[in-house]
C-alpha cells in the first residue's frame, strides 16, 4: 500500500478529524502513488491515521476518505452517498421543494464531491483528484440513492486547475436533453440552466433566506442587488412588494430571471443589467429610496489573501445601501467569502452603518440552508453569512 508519512507532530489536525493534509506536513511518500490513488496516512512514529486520496499537484496533497482501515471502492461511495441522501429526506417537503444539495463535500465525508438535485436531474461537481478518480462509482451511487433520472456533470470549478484536472461537463447518466430544468423551491418555480448556470446552476444555499425576504417584502419598495436568476426578487414580488428592482451584470442571468418571474406570474419586477457598485452610487445621487435592500454579491475573498480588498467592497455596497433605505428600512446583506469570518463581516456592516449615519440593529443572522451542513471538524465548510439589519424608524 502507498503511504504518506507525516513529519513529527503534524498528525495533530488529523487527530481532530480535519480532513486535509497539506504538502508541508508530509515527510515522505512510499510506493509510487499517482493522483487520485488511495494512500495510507501514517504519523512519524508509524501510527495509522487515515485513508486519503492523493493529489500531488495540490497544496492539499491528500484528503481523507476514512479514519479507519477499510476498502475505498464503489461500495464505500454507495454507503456514504446513501447516508447523505437519506439525511436530506427528513427536513424538506417534496411537495413544495424538489431541489436540494445531496452531497456537501467534506461535511458529508466526501471531499471534493458536490451533488445537487434539481427535480429529476442531479448535477454533480467533482473538484479533487480523489473525487475525479471515482466519477463512475459516484454517478452510479447518486442514481441509486436518489431515484433521479439522470446525472449531469459540471466539474468546471477553477479549483480543478490546482489539482491538475481538466474541466468535465455534460451528461453522465440518462438523457442530454433538456438542458434547462424547472424546479420548485418553497412553492415557487425556477428555471435552472445545467450548461451555463453558475456553479451547479442555482444557489440552493439561499432557500430559507429567500423565504424570509418573501415574508419581509409586503408593501415595500425592494432592491435586489446581484440578483442572478431572480431568487430573491421573485420571492419579494410573490410576497407582495410594492415594487421590485433587480440588478445583475449578467444579461444571460437576467434572461433566465425574466423567465422565472413569468413562471410565477409576477410581472412587476424591473430587471436592470448593470454594475451594482455604480448603480447604488447613481441612486444615492438621485436620492432614490427603498424599504428593503438585498445584497448577495459573488465571493469577493476566495481566500484569506483577498480579505482586505473584499472588506472594502462589502463596506462600499452596504454603506450605499444604508443610505438608500427609508427610516425603518431593512438591509439583508450576505458574504459567501470563506476568508471573511462572521465576526469580521459584522464589523464591516457596523462600520458601514456608522459612516452612512444610520442607527441599525441586527434582527436576524443568516446562514446556508440545512442541506449545506458544516461538519464540526471542518469549519471551512461554513462560507455563507448574512445579516438582516433594520435601521431606526
Ligand atoms: N442572489 C442570487 C445569487 C447571486 S450570485 C440568488 O439568490 O440566486 C452573484 C451574482 O452577482 C451573479 O449573478 C453575478 O453575475 C453578479 N455580479 C457580479 N458582479 C456584479 C456587479 N459588479 N454588479 C452586478 N452584478 C454582479
Q: Whose CA is nearest to atom 1 of ligand 1?
A: 227
- Ligand 1 and 300: CB distance under 6 A: no
Instruction: Give the active site residues.
Output: 336
Atom of ligand 1 nearest to the CA of 277: 22
CA distance 35 to 132: 9
Atom of ligand 1 nearest to the CA of 275: 23
CA distance 150 to 184: 18
Note if the bond before 93 is cis, omega within 30 degrees: no
Atom of ligand 1 nearest to the CA of 226: 11
CA distance 204 to 86: 18
Helix, strand or coil, per DSSP, at residue 227 = coil
Q: How many CA atoms lie within 13 A of 371 on its CB side?
A: 25
What pLDDT score does 269 carry?
97
What pLDDT score does 326 carry?
98
Quick: pLDDT tens for 140-165. Answer: 999 999 999 999 999 999 889 889 99
Q: Whose CA is nearest to atom 21 of ligand 1?
A: 275
Q: Which residues does 237 contact at the CB level (< 8 Å), separation at least 6?
A: 217, 244, 261, 264, 266, 268, 269
- Ligand 1 and 318: CB distance under 6 A: no
Closest CA to 57 of 171, 190, 186, 161: 161
What pLDDT score does 152 carry?
98
Atom of ligand 1 nearest to the CA of 203: 8
Kindly give the residue spans of alpha helices, DSSP state H, lying in the chain.
12-15, 74-88, 129-133, 135-146, 159-162, 207-216, 231-238, 251-263, 276-285, 307-324, 342-356
What pLDDT score does 92 carry?
87
- Ligand 1 and 75: CB distance under 6 A: no
- pTM score, whole prediction: 0.96
Q: Is the pLDDT of residue 28 over 90?
A: yes
Residue 313 Cα to ligand 1 middle (Å): 14
Q: Which residues does 292 contact at the CB level (< 8 Å), separation at least 6?
A: 213, 216, 217, 220, 221, 222, 223, 236, 241, 329, 330, 331, 332
Show the cell assigned to 156. 468546471
Task: Name the pLDDT band for 302 (thresholds 50, 70, 90).
Answer: confident
Helix, strand or coil, per DSSP, at residue 29 = strand
Q: Is the pLDDT of residue 1 over 90?
A: no
Q: Is the pLDDT of residue 167 over 90?
A: yes
- Ligand 1 and 112: CB distance under 6 A: no
Rounded CA Rg of the chain? 22
Give percent above pLDDT 70 in the chain.
Answer: 100
CA distance 242 to 291: 10
CB 202 within 8 A of CB 114: no
Quick: pLDDT tens for 316-353. Answer: 999 999 999 999 999 999 999 988 999 999 999 999 99
- Looking only at the bridges linking them, the beta strands covering 221-225 and 243-248 are parallel
Quick: pLDDT tens for 69-114. Answer: 999 999 999 999 999 999 997 778 889 999 999 999 999 999 999 9
Average pLDDT, the chain: 96
- Ligand 1 and 281: CB distance under 6 A: no
Higher per-residue pLDDT: 4 or 303? 4
Return the best residue to mutate from 193, 207, 228, 257 for the ligand 1 pocket (most ligand atoms within 8 A of CB).
228
Query: Mean of the pLDDT values across residues 12-27?
Result: 98
- Ligand 1 and 283: CB distance under 6 A: no
Closest CA to 185 of 221, 142, 246, 231: 231
CA distance 273 to 285: 19
Task: Name the pLDDT band for 305 (thresholds 50, 70, 90).
Answer: confident
Query: Mean of the pLDDT values across residues 299-318?
Result: 92
Helix, strand or coil, per DSSP, at residue 250 = coil
Query: Mean of the pLDDT values across residues 349-369?
Result: 98
CB 34 within 8 A of CB 71: no
CB 146 within 8 A of CB 188: no
- Ligand 1 and 231: CB distance under 6 A: yes
- Ligand 1 and 277: CB distance under 6 A: yes
- Ligand 1 and 296: CB distance under 6 A: yes
Return the best residue to mutate from 249, 310, 314, 386 for the ligand 1 pocket (most ligand atoms within 8 A of CB).
249
Give percent above pLDDT 90 in the chain.
Answer: 94
Atom of ligand 1 nearest to the CA of 206: 7
CA distance 224 to 271: 10
Q: Is the pLDDT of residue 2 over 90?
A: yes
Q: Whose CA is nearest to atom 3 of ligand 1?
A: 228
- The H-or-E segment that residue 331 falls in is strand 325-335
Amino acid at each position: 500500500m502507498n503511504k504518506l508519512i507525516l513529519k513529527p507532530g503534524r498528525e495533530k489536525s488529523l487527530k481532530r478529524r480535519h480532513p486535509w493534509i497539506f504538502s508541508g506536513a508530509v515527510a515522505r511518500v512510499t510506493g509510487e502513488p499517482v493522483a487520485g490513488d488511495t494512500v495510507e496516512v501514517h504519523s512519524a512514529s508509524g501510527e495509522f491515521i487515515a485513508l486519503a486520496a492523493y493529489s500531488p499537484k495540490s497544496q492539499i496533497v491528500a484528503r481523507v476518505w476514512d479514519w479507519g482501515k477499510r476498502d475505498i471502492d464503489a461500495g464505500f461511495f454507495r454507503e456514504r452517498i446513501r447516508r447523505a441522501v437519506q439525511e436530506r429526506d427528513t427536513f424538506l417537503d417534496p411537495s413544495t421543494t424538489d431541489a436540494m444539495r445531496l452531497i456537501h463535500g467534506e461535511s458529508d465525508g466526501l471531499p471534493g464531491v458536490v451533488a445537487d438535485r434539481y427535480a429529476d436531474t442531479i448535477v454533480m461537481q467533482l473538484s479533487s483528484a480523489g473525487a475525479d478518480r471515482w466519477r463512475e462509482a459516484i454517478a452510479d451511487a447518486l442514481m441509486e440513492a436518489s431515484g433521479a433520472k439522470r446525472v449531469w456533470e459540471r466539474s468546471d470549478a477553477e479549483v480543478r486547475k490546482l489539482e491538475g484536472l481538466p474541466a468535465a461537463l455534460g451528461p453522465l447518466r440518462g438523457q442530454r436533453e433538456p438542458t434547462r430544468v424547472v424546479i420548485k423551491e418553497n412553492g415557487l418555480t425556477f428555471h435552472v440552466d445545467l450548461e451555463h448556470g453558475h456553479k451547479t446552476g442555482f444557489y440552493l444555499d439561499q432557500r430559507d433566506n429567500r423565504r424570509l425576504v418573501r415574508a419581509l417584502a409586503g408593501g415595500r419598495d425592494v432592491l435586489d442587488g446581484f440578483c442572478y436568476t431572480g431568487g430573491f426578487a421573485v420571492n419579494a414580488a410573490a410576497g407582495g412588494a410594492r415594487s421590485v428592482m433587480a440588478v445583475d451584470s449578467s444579461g444571460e442571468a437576467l434572461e433566465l430571471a425574466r423567465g422565472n418571474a413569468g413562471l410565477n406570474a409576477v410581472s412587476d419586477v424591473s430587471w436592470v443589467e448593470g454594475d451594482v457598485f455604480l448603480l447604488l452610487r447613481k441612486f444615492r445621487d438621485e436620492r432614490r429610496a427603498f424599504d428593503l435592500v438585498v445584497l448577495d454579491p459573488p465571493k469577493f475573498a476566495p481566500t484569506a489573501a483577498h480579505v482586505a480588498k473584499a472588506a472594502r467592497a462589502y463596506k462600499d455596497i452596504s454603506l450605499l445601501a444604508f443610505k438608500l433605505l427609508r427610516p425603518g428600512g431593512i438591509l439583508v446583506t450576505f458574504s459567501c467569502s470563506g476568508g471573511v469570518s462572521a465576526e469580521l463581516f459584522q464589523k464591516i456592516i457596523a462600520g458601514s452603518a456608522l459612516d452612512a449615519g444610520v442607527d441599525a440593529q441586527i434582527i436576524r443572522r443568516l446562514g446556508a440552508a440545512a442541506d449545506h451542513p458544516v461538519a464540526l471538524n471542518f469549519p471551512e465548510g461554513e462560507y455563507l453569512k448574512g445579516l438582516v439589519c433594520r435601521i431606526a424608524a
